[in-house]
Structure 1
Amino acid sequence: MQTKKLEQLLNQWLSPEIISDYCPNGLQLDSEKTIEKVVTGVSATQALIDSAIALKADAILVHHGYFWKSEPAQIVGMKYQRLKKLIKNDISLFAYHLPLDVHPEFGNNVQLAKLFELEVIDPVEGIKPKGILMQAETKSATALADFASLVERKLARKPLVISGGDFLINKVAICTGGGQSFIEHALAAGVDLFITGEVSEQTVHVATEMGIHFIAAGHHATERYGIKALGEYLAANTDIQVEFVDIDNPA
């Protein structure tokens, strides 16, 4: 499959044109190769590029790509070295940021909710883009300590846990990655627990003073599962071979 054809297919599944984002979604670096093997990963780091080269991949598909609105436009330093290796090895790069976070089937939020064995997974209404904040229910009322143990076991890392009081968890809101600013939207949705990847200083105060449990489980750790699911879907629906490579990141 050629790069443009693969981009058309991915765009058909993810609909990036309907979402305003901080970076270009879709094909970020072209290639003349026919794509037979794709490496997927969370971020297009040098380590992921090196892994793709070693695995003889024709393309890389990630959640965090390049050309963010807040970064310098010059192609120098780290950005130059990354692009140089991609071009030298004729490897194309595809990236989907918010479209992958919010997707109702293989989005980061939905996949994390399923990983935590939650049920009745739906977007919190009135928050744009739709699906950036999801809500779901536990199978039964669960103590915060027990839910935190589940998170640690599933993600293989110890999360930061803030108690909002002495109450059980029945309803959970999720926004993966750097979604801590959505805690007050989670409060308004009436959930017992809000899960995201990162934490800010004020997030702790909101949780303790407003009475909502909070878990920060890691930006990278909470966003492994959307890109993995997308890659699996790509492999199941095309002749392309797909391999997920997890470059560990403690943040």
Structure 2
Amino acid sequence: MKKMILPRRTGGFTLMETLLAIALVGVLLSIFLTVFVPARGLVRQALTRQESERITGILRAELNVLRADEMADGNAKTSSENQYLTTFDKGFHWLKKTSRPSSAIVIFSYRADLSKPARPDGTYPAIPASKSVPGKDMQLVSIACPMDDPVHRDDIRDAVGPVFLVKMTQLEQKGEGEYRMVNSPGVITKASSPEQYVSQAGQRDAWGGAIFCRAEFYHMSPPNPARYKGKTWNKLGRPLFSANLSFRR
């Protein structure tokens, strides 16, 4: 008589066990997304805020220093060497330059070639972006300057990272502690504080002792000054971020 051989049960999970496992994974994934995704968003916002403050800080720092051999604007009040007399004069005329993108302020970083002599203003020439730099004596520096600056205009094409274009619009006092932007960028109508308006005899300065403005930062892409000739601010879209600045005597 032949023995009956029963089929051996193979290892594995039943349908119910599989469904329970899938449900458990879904619950764990939901908990993970609920806890960590908002945290990542907060970190991203903090990094964006930190970067915007860094870019604004570069502009503020440059507006508070007079560099050697920095030529003043043609109609600015200058010294015998055609340089700005004060940082207020520099800020005033830099604001006026932002009436159009082709002469506005740019902020960027570049690789400075420390093996070459420094320029008269204390900065070093840029290493071309296409060149390899292993073992090169270099330093990454950040700078703010007008786009039509004869010294740094060619450095813009060799920028490392994003390049920012700055539009500055005066804030005019509207009421007690209230300000509004004037109609056009690069235009100074009067002092931002009426009591500080300079009008005494013998003073030819047609501005006040304090100018407040809104600085708006745009992404300059491509970083080629020639591409911005004839362009208007309306064609550049919306700014990435903005900040309030002031120039004081």
Shorter-normalised TM-score: what interval?
under 0.3
When you count helix as a share of all residues, which structure comes out higher?
1
TM-score normalised per structure 2: 0.22
Q: Which structure has the higher relative contact order (CA within 8 Å, separation 6+)?
A: 1
